Structure 1
Amino acid sequence: MKKLLIAAMMVAGLAACSQEAKQETQEAASAVASDVNAAAENAASAVDAAASEAKGAAEQAVSDVKDAAADAKATADKAVSDAKDAVSDAKDAAKDAAKDAMGKAADATQEAADKLKDAAK
């Protein structure tokens, strides 16, 4: 009977230890699950933040390209305007030069004609 009582007490002791081990294992598993969930939430936040930053950078790049295109168009428009002005100025200068040359030619012709008349007298 003593042996049976000792065996029963040993089984009860082992059962208590087993229950405590189960409890500790369950707590450890819960802690690990909590850590995994926290890590997943942190990863999701990091992905969201990275996506937001990438979107912001893309929007800024688009804005920069639009600004650069507008600047290039303004510069091209100014160059066209300057070229038109230069052509107009050159045209006016050519007209003035032609008039001046025609006037000089007329004067020279008149002078030559006058000299011919004088020589013919």
Structure 2
Amino acid sequence: MLPHLVDVEHPGSTTDRYGNSVADWSASTHAEVAAWMQQNTGAEDADQREALIGEWLMICNPVAVDGTPLTVHGSARVHWGELTFEVIGPPGPAYTPDEVHHYEIRLKTVEG
């Protein structure tokens, strides 16, 4: 059961003044996907700042709501309600005998 709708955002790309390809969040693409969101850990970093750090697990369909195959990589962001997450590493696919059944994706959020 995947009760939540989340927005997976991928950056576009642009060329910087040195000729390097860099992420361009003003030209990003979005995909809405059904998911399960679960917080695994939470911590505070009070060393010279007040930061709240959370690590989450997102279990989601391999296909976006509009029917396109979902791609997720380390430069993606995930938005759920008021929270924005960074993707940690590549998604972990879980298979049925014939195809990808779902993805398990580690996420991180830092506030402050």
Instruction: Report the TM range for the smaller structure's normalisation.
Output: under 0.3
> Which is strand-richer, 1 or 2?
2
Q: TM-score with structure 1 length normalisation?
A: 0.13
Report the structure number with the largest CA radius of gyration.
1
> Which is helix-richer, 1 or 2?
1
